[in-house]
Structures are given as C-alpha cells and as structure tokens.
Chain A
C-alpha cells in the first residue's frame, strides 16, 4: 500500500464500512461527521491517529473511524490512553467518552488524566442521560430528573464538568455543541493544536431518552439569550442582537444592557486567565430562567504545562546518560557475588 501524504486524505477516507448504529436523529452523527472533516486538515498521518473509548453510546465512535481504535471498558479509557501515550508519545490520540463514562464510573481516571496532562484530546459527549442502558439519570442530569430509575425524581446534585476539570488543573477546557458544526470544528482544531490534555465538552442531544435537553441553547429563538460564545480578546456580549454584555464588579459578574453600557467596561475574555476562567465555569444555572447567566461556549481556559509522556521520556534519557545504557549482565550479577569452583 502506497504511503498517503498529508493533505491528500478527505473525510471519506476516515469512514469505515461499518454500519453506524446510533438512533436516527442522534447528535452523535453530527459529531462524527465534523470529526471526520477536521482530522484530514490536521496534518497527521492516518496511521498515527488512534481513537480510544470507554462504554456508552458515544463510545461506539472508534468503530466508525478508519484509524486505529479501541473500544475499551467502562470508564477506563483515560487509563488505556495513558499507557498508550506513555509508550508512544508521537501518536495523535483521541479519547471518546460520555457523561456517565467520564464523570461517573470513570471519574477517578478523568481527574488524574487531567492533572498529568498527557498530550491527547478528550471529546466528552454530554447528553445528561444514560442512553445505552435505556434512560437512567446521569451525573450531569439536573436535580429532580424523572427517569426510569428515579420515578420520584433524582436526588443527585449534578456535576459541573467545566468546574470539575478546572479543579483538576486541566490545561485546556472548551465547550461546544452538536448542533453548531462550524463552532464544533473550530473547537476541535483548537483542541488538537493545544499540547496537553485538551478537554472538549460537547452538548449532545439524545433524541430518544433526553430529547431537547439543550434546545434552549440551540434553537434560534432562545439561543441568543441563553448562550455566550467567548473568544480570546473579545468582550463578553450575548443576546439575539448582542444587546447584553457582562462586566466584572470586583469578582462579581454583572449583566449589563449595551444600550446603557460601553464595550470598554466589559469583561474581556482572556483564555490564559485562570481566575476569570473559574468565574466563567460557574455560569451554570439554568440559562432559561430570568436573571441567570447565559451558558458559555468556546475555549474557556488554556495553559502550557509539561506533558507527562515528555517528562517520562526525559527521565529515561536522564537515567541513561547518568548510569549508562542498561547492562543486563550487570543487573543479573547485582552488587556482590561469590564463586564456587
């Protein structure tokens, strides 16, 4: 088989012959399509791309990508990825997970993945429900959620994934949605460009078990008021006609009407400002309710920090230069020996 040069591949080359088995109308289709479009543009050879997932609807994803892939076990994809990346630092590794996989059964692995900062991309499909097991509430479902397992309403307080990730010292956090393909592709490119664990939360509609969970943020009539698209260096403005802005009164964000405020007083988004990012992740109340902040989308925060696999390779190299390349005979012999003739 002839080597395929960068830039010669198209989205089509990343499709497999496997029938895609998500429910018709599932948000996953859109995400798959955008990923297949973006990957050829990244300048990575196809044989160096690996998709690793856990368990759940979203985790079927690797079967549909014509790259290397592994559909692992529930919640453990971060650990599989860690071992792969520790031994193969040059691979382009994409981890596919869902709200149950990443935040419930795999919650422990996720936070450790983030603090270690392996250079990988995580796509967290958040549909706020368990789909594959047919409709139980998830760790991101809203309080009081009525599902098959919670006929009287869920008692759980939900995770705020953005706050959780920043709390675990994530070096890149972005939020996007299945129904905004352009924004989704842009965020994916940004995630790939970041060296470190790039955490991308994707709001994804489960049209069978949790239909419309994000409609307020995706429908034309409401999305203007309920969403806030942040861009580095730009002021925080939202609304159908960008009629609202957000400014900071000390550390308290305040919504202002642009009729009576000027852009100069507004909060300017700075992706490298951890303090502001920590305020931004707290815009997590129901955005459809009067007086609440809109839900932010885009790259919240990014920082440069050494990646685990690079540090590990450094240690190996340091050990080799300090003690010399390992000598198996010396190791077998140990420190003291005696001989019987």
Chain B
C-alpha cells in the first residue's frame, strides 16, 4: 500500500531544535525547494541571542517557521500544521503553536532522560510516551541512530556524522511534502565543493531520510501543495537583509556613485555588511569601523568626497549615531542610515523583532533636525525602499533613514526581481568648475535650487574650495553665522527642504479594499502581511475594511490625510506602543485607534481581525 496524497492549499511547518542542530539551514533549504517549485511563501526564523545556548534547554531552542501555499501567502502562519522537533525542549516550547490534529515529527533520540531533565520536564516521562499527544499525529523517528547507521562505513568522525542528522529530517520532510531532493543535493555540492566526503555523507543521509519515509510509510498520508497562481515573471527567493544590500548596490550602480558602507557589527543588521562585502567587484567599499559613531562619520566623509555614504545599525547603534546624523543634516550631504530594528530599549531583545524606533528616526536628534524616513513592508520590499532611500538622499542632499526590522531582515519570500533597466536611474547634482565664483569672490556652497537643494561640491574640483561644518551657517555663503534671523531662516529652510520631498514620492495608495469605508487598517513596516491577510478575510466576510501601508513616513505622501479621512475609523497596528499613531494624531487630529504589541514576535492575522471586528461591533 502506498501513502495517499492530500492536496492542501497551504501548509505551515515549524522546524525546532537546538541552535546547533542546523535548524535554520534545514528550514532555509525546505523554503528554497518550495520556492523553486513555485509556491508562494513567507518565513519566520526565530533564534536565541546566544550563538550556542546550553544544549537541550528551552533557552537554546531555535525555530524556523515556513508557510507555503498554492494561494497567496501573507504571513509565516498563525498556527502550524506540522511541527518538526529535534528534542524534548523544542517540543515543549512549540507545542502550543500546533493545530489540534497536527503532525509531529520527532527525533526520539532527543527525548532521553537527560533531554527531559534539560527541558525541565519534571515527570521524567517523555510526551511521546505518556499519551499526552493523543490529539496529534505523531511520527517518532530515531534520527540520531539511523543517521549513525547510515554513515557507519563513511570513515567520518562521530561529530561530523552527528552534524548530518538535520539532513535525515529534511529528507523525510521532503518525502512527506512531495518535494524533490535536487535543490538540496545541488546546494550541498556547491557548499562543500572542496570537501567531497562531506557532500557524500550529507547527500547519503538526505536520501536515507527520504527513503525512510518511502519504505516505512509510517504516515499513510503525504501532502502535495500545488504551485501558486503568481503573476507571470521570473522569481527568486529573497531575505530582507539580502534584498536591502542588493538595493543599495543597485542604487549605486544606477546613479553612477561609488558605494561606501561604514558599519559596526550588530544584530540583526550585520548580514547587510556581510552581503555587501561580497560585492567589491561592483566597486563597493565596506568599512568595518571601530564603533557606531565612526561608522556613520566615515560615511559622512565618503559623502563629502562624492561617494554614496551609507551606514547601518539597529536601535542601540542608531542612538550612538544621532549627533553625526545631525552633522550630515547641517552639511546637507546625502547619507543613508539603515536601521534594522530589534526589541528595545537598551540592549533589549537583540534577536527579536519590534518597530519601536520610528520616533527615534524622525525626532531622535538634538535641535530642529528633520530627515526623511522610509520603511519596507516585506522582505523583498527592502530592496525597493533601500533603493528609494538612496535616491532621496542624493536628489535632496539629506540624510534618509531606511527602516527594516528583525522579522523582515531574516524573513524570506518569493521576489519577482526587476532588471537593471527597470530601475529608475538618478544622479547627484555635482557642482563643476563652471560654478566657481568670479576672481576675488568665494564659492557659495549653500546656493539652492527650487527644491531648496544645494549642489554637491566635492574636493578635487577646481574653484569650489569651501568650508562646511556643524555650526549654524549663513545661507548661500556657508559662513558661520550667529545671526538670530538667519538661524530662524535656516531652521525653516531645512524643514521646508524635507517637506518638499513629498513632491518626489508616490501618492499613498490603498493596498486592499475600497478607497472609502468603515475601517482603514493603516500599517507600516513588517506588519504588512498580517494586516493584508486579515483585511482579505474580513472583506471576504463582507466587512467594510481596507488596508493602506505607509512606506514614506517622513514626510508623508501629499494625499495621506485625504486617504485617512475617507474612513470612519483608522486602526493602526504597530509593534510598539503607538508611535505612528501618535504622529497621525498630532499631525492631522484624527482620532485613530491603536493596536499595540511588543512581544518580540509579529502580529498574527487573527489578532488584527479580532480588533477590527471589535470596532465594527
């Protein structure tokens, strides 16, 4: 008898185990396989801050959640259909997110008395044996033992053999969900090109896992999710930080500017540095500075010299960069500041997600210090908004914040990527020697165009010698000025200059639903998927609900207020205590409703739906 194949529209699966179990790799490989197959998908990796947290403990559990389907997928999924656990702690920590009737694939070798003790299971009895999992379909597999058996003649040491056990699980899961081994086999042979014995061992274990499912057929049901009906085009799978990095490179390429990236390692922003460091053949210069302040200051130095200066960090690092961002604003030089937000305040929750740095980006400097702020909505959107941040910084000679967060940074989704030609080219307005002053006169670095933007006058250009600095300056000449009226004028001018950016960004659109109605759910950043998913279901249920997502947060698009005023209620869900909410209320006097959550994990679709239904009651 062969297993029957069911065809669900969507599956949510969570891989969980020790942070050293290779869970992230297993999840990523399964994701890539489904992406290549043609599913729509969304992922959520969730790992501890410690690199190697104590083995077998609850604190050490690393998770990777994947939601894939033949329908449009908005979030990594609220509840799981399947849970893959490598040990007792992983099961204990994640059972609550499994649907009743869901599947548990468990490595029984991770449920020995020691594992039970480490997972603080006081009874000392494994859940696999005490009957407590009777509501679920449990597939216990002796993964560690079977892997050892499989590689007993490989000549590999015990440690190397142990490291391949995630491939057994992956093979089994690929069998259960009717997916090909090929993408993983190719990945292994590329990754360990120089170590054929490792390629062989992992491939063998992967196949063994697949065959184990096929021959034992313990589960009588397999699942096969059809391809999604996505728009025509060529897709790739992409994570947020990678998308951001590529967006920065693309912006440099399409503007003809040299990309300089000054950064200090910090979770969860470091991957952008790692990615950019691989692309030196694009002329990218990465600089791992001695601290956060040096990172931003070096980017300012690069911009002063005519390069596209970029710095990145997460909240604590952004706090350190504040004074220098103010300098860039006074110098009126392009600067892109990437903030991959994480749980705060202080060190906070380094590996968890939050969007509580919005007000820091918009207001977090001394003095009247406006800068532009944009934010990405999804992992792939990080590409577009990082690109936009560069475009605005160069066209308006100003610092621009690009906000991402931990969830976007490490989350993945299919991306219908553009070609280079489809990306709007832009260029710096460089002053030339033709702009030099008459003999005996000085060059005027702060002459402005109709948008109040000055020219980019870079060292090395004959006749444009001039001095800039953080002290208040006279408009036009740039000479130091303490004149009261001049200061008022300059503060007004800098504010107006940023306001003018509203003329150079798209109007606010409605993502889903009617342009007028009862409830508008206004989001920004990574709440996108949960809000869109919730809105879709509410509309299907006949409710008057729409979704708008703000990508340009300072200044707002010109029609922003008008869009909001077309609804009886504006609901603003945020992973903070109400920051966009505060801005909308103070700027437009609209009595918005806030929905706030700061738990280090994203909103679920249902949390948003419930709130809307409460409003509609």
Contact = CB atoms under 8 A, between A and B. Distances in A.
B436 A83 contact: no
Residue in A62, A66, A338 with the greatest tally of chain B CB atoms within 10 Å:
A338
B433 A1 contact: yes
Interface string A35-50: 0000000000111101
B234 interface: yes
Interface string A297-341: 000000000000000100110111011111011011111111111
Nearest to A89: B305
A63 B467 contact: yes
B300 A83 contact: yes
A320 B281 contact: yes
Interface stretch (B149-157, B192-200, B288-296): B288-296
A248 interface: no
Contacts of A328: 249-250, 253-254, 282, 420
Contacts of A18: 479-480
B470 A3 contact: no
B617 interface: no
Nearest to A88: B305
A83 B459 CA distance: 13
B18 interface: no
Contacts of A68: 459, 464-467
A66 B468 CA distance: 12
A340 B232 contact: yes
A82 interface: yes
B299 A337 contact: no
Interface residues on A, range: 35 or more
B319 to A, nearest CB: 15
A45 B297 CA distance: 26
B262 A83 contact: yes
A148 B519 CA distance: 62
A78 B287 CA distance: 14
B233 A340 contact: yes
Nearest to B235: A338
Interface string A60-100: 00110111111111001011111111111011000000000
Contact of A71 (B227, B290, B460, B469): B469
B359 to A, nearest CB: 23
Interface in B429-460: 433, 436-437, 439, 442, 459-460
Contacts of B290: 79, 108-109, 112
Interface string A1-35: 10110000000000011100000000000000000
B298 A83 contact: yes
Contacts of B470: 71-73
B301 interface: yes
A83 B302 contact: yes
A337 B433 CA distance: 47
Contact of B283 (A86, A316, A323): A316
A257 B463 CA distance: 57
Contact of A82 (B35, B236, B301): B301
B35 A326 contact: no
Interface in B255-292: 258, 260, 262, 279-285, 287, 289-291
A65 B465 CA distance: 10
Given A325-B281, A332-B250, A339 B235 contact: yes
Query: What is the interface residue range for chain B against chain A?
Result: 35 or more
B348 interface: no
A43 B100 CA distance: 80
A52 interface: yes
Contacts of B131: none
Nearest to A64: B467
B394 to A, nearest CB: 15
Interface string A165-208: 00000000000000000000000000000000000000000000
Interface stretch (B201-209, B323-331, B588-596): B323-331
Contact of B460 (A48, A325, A339): A48
A81 B236 contact: no
A79 B250 contact: no
Contacts of A79: 262, 289-290, 293-298, 301
A80 B300 contact: yes
A206 B79 CA distance: 71
Contacts of A47: 459-465
B426 interface: no
A229 B249 CA distance: 52
Nearest to B295: A79
Contacts of A318: 280
A18 B253 CA distance: 40
B334 interface: no
Contact of B304 (A63, A73, A84, A329): A84
B469 A339 contact: no
A329 B297 contact: no
Given A52-B301, A83-B301, A336-B32, A88 B306 contact: yes
A88 B293 CA distance: 21
B299 to A, nearest CB: 6
A76 B324 contact: yes
Contacts of B183: 336
A78 B290 CA distance: 11
A69 B464 CA distance: 11
A63 B260 contact: no
Interface string A95-136: 000000000000011001000000000000000000000000
A86 B260 CA distance: 8
Nearest to B302: A83
Given A79-B298, A332-B419, A73 B327 contact: yes
A71 B467 contact: yes
Nearest to B417: A332
A16 B236 contact: no
By CB atoms of chain A within 10 A, which of B36, B254, B327 has the most? B327
A324 B323 contact: no
B309 interface: yes
B471 interface: yes
Contacts of B315: none
Given A79-B293, A333-B236, A334-B417, A3 B469 contact: no
B233 A339 contact: yes
B306 A76 contact: no
A337 B234 contact: yes
B535 to A, nearest CB: 25
A53 to B, nearest CB: 8
A71 B302 contact: no
A326 B237 CA distance: 21
Nearest to A76: B297
Contacts of A337: 234-236
Contacts of B289: 79, 82, 112
Given A79-B298, A87-B285, A91-B460, A331 B471 contact: no
Contacts of A69: 466-469
Given A52-B301, A86-B287, A332-B419, A62 B469 contact: yes
B305 A48 contact: no
Contact of B465 (A46, A333, A339): A46
A310 to B, nearest CB: 13
B246 interface: yes
Nearest to A50: B459
B238 A334 contact: yes
Contact of B467 (A16, A83, A112): A16
Nearest to B35: A338
A17 B442 contact: yes
B274 to A, nearest CB: 15
B301 A81 contact: yes
Contacts of B324: 73, 76
Instruction: Across the A-B interface, give the 3 residue pairs with the lowest CB-CB distance, nearest first.
Output: A71-B469, A83-B301, A326-B282
Given A68-B466, A69-B467, A340-B232, 13 more contacts: A68-B464, A71-B468, A71-B471, A78-B294, A81-B301, A87-B258, A112-B289, A316-B281, A319-B279, A320-B281, A322-B281, A333-B417, A339-B233
Interface of A: 1, 3-4, 16-18, 45-48, 50, 52, 62-63, 65-73, 76, 78-88, 90-91, 108-109, 112, 312, 315-316, 318-320, 322-326, 328-329, 331-341
